[in-house]
Amino acid sequence: MNTFHGKTALVTGASRGIGRAIARRLARDGARVAVHYGRNEQAAKETVAAIETAGGHAFALRAQLGTPGDAERLWAAFDAHADGLDILVNNAGILNEEPGIEHVTREQFERIFAVNATAPFFITKLALPRLRDGGRIVNISTMLTRGSAMPPSISYAMSKGALDVLTSTLAKQLAPRAITVNTVAPGVIDTDMHEGRLVGDALAWLSSLSPMGRVGTPEDVADVVAFLASDDSRWVTGHWLDTSGGTLL
């Protein structure tokens, strides 16, 4: 497929999980993909290798998010490989282990906001001079920001809520440039973020939350992102798209 032929995409946190699936799907449809990673260089190389083996084009770039100068380092690395951008996917994120608000430390809270909210804000800010008119921004949020409150994930959901606001505000600001900005909000996805948890009774319970009777896969999310990154979604902007397999029904 040549949906994205001639286009360049950047996917943050693309060395594994949902980000890897998004990078592979965009590359499969013709995009040249910048595979961002924070620490795991080998995993990023594996993502690039998988894309190239399938006939696509990709390059890896490193920037540890949540640290001073993270966005600047990311774009400096990007500029060494490309001269413009068409698709930005803010996917990178972290979870906290927190039974509830009473167990959240200030350090944990500030760290999760630094990675999940501050980093994509400034990555997006610095992307705008590089993003071509008619471009696409897709932010990966969570179903937990709307109608599915879970006390053990309070700081995570709050940080993603900030990303939801970024979507709606930028959608209005960037519309004159025909740039769309949308949010994809997954439910439970079978990635290494949940390693060791999606087994036995826990897996059965989490699967039962969706009327589909299963947890999601990274590809379930990647296919939705590909639609929002394509010209088919040109009349969709500022939208929060539930990709939880009906968990919020």
Please report, for the domain that includes residue 83, its CATH number.
Answer: 3.40.50.720
Kindly report the pTM of this predicted structure: 0.94
Instruction: Give the pLDDT score at 199.
Output: 55
Does residue 247 form part of some domain? no
Query: Is the residue at 249 inside a domain?
Result: no
Q: Phi and psi for 67 in degrees, rounded to 5?
A: -125, 155
- Coil, strand or helix at 187: coil
Q: Is residue 1 part of a domain?
A: no
In a domain, 94, yes or no: yes
Give pLDDT tens digits for 167-225: 999 999 999 999 999 999 999 898 876 555 555 677 787 788 888 988 899 999 999 99
Q: Is 156 annotated as catalytic?
A: yes
Q: Determine contact, residues 45/52, Cβ cutoff 8 Å.
A: no
45-65 average pLDDT score: 98
Query: Which residue among the candidates 66, 156, 190, 206 is catalytic per the annotation?
Result: 156
**Domain annotation covers residue 142:** yes
Q: What pLDDT is attached to residue 134?
A: 98
Answer yes or no: is 60 within a domain.
yes
**Which residue, among 40, 31, 30, has the nearest Cα to 8 in the 3D structure?**
31
Residue 146 lies in a domain: yes
Domain that holds residue 57: 8-242
> What does the CA dihedral 100, 101, 104, 109 come to, rounded to 10 degrees?
120
The total of structural domains in the chain comes to: 1
Q: Is 3 contained in some domain?
A: no
